Amino acid sequence: MATINTTTAGATESISVDGTASGVVSTSNNTITKNGHGFVDDERIKYSDGQKDADNPIKGLISEQYYYIHSATTNTFKLSLTPSTFGDEAIISLTGVADAGDAHVFGSVGLLSIVNVWPHEDNLAYKL
């Protein structure tokens, strides 16, 4: 079973951060810091490590994977594989800074305008 959903524009189109900086990637708080990032809770984003020839994601994340914004403040945010409307969102554990790359991109896909949605079979939160 699946539903067809549309998205509305996200609060922010995209941001770029230095994934190798411990001032950006907090492993103790599982947050990404970008002053005035503009993301809002449950906004769906796509993460890219920005590396064309190598895979160097922020530890705990997968490049080219979709995530949801969680616990957004003005300057920080956390990530989850599911939106809060699913009721089982778990914060992604950031285990280290990236090995390379000062242009890690978080690009907004938007906010779901219909919140009665089923998880997609490719969602890593539901893989065995």
pLDDT tens sequence across 63-106: 999 999 999 999 999 999 988 877 767 899 999 999 998 899 99
The whole-number pLDDT of residue 3 equals: 39
Residues present in the chain in total? 128
pLDDT tens sequence across 96-114: 999 998 899 999 998 876 5
Residue 125 has pLDDT above 90, yes or no: no
Q: What is the DSSP letter of 122?
A: T
Q: Where do the domains of the chain lie, and which CATH numbers do they carry?
A: 7-112 (2.40.30)
- SS3 call for 86: helix
- SS3 call for 29: coil
Band of pLDDT at residue 120, cut at 50, 70 and 90? low
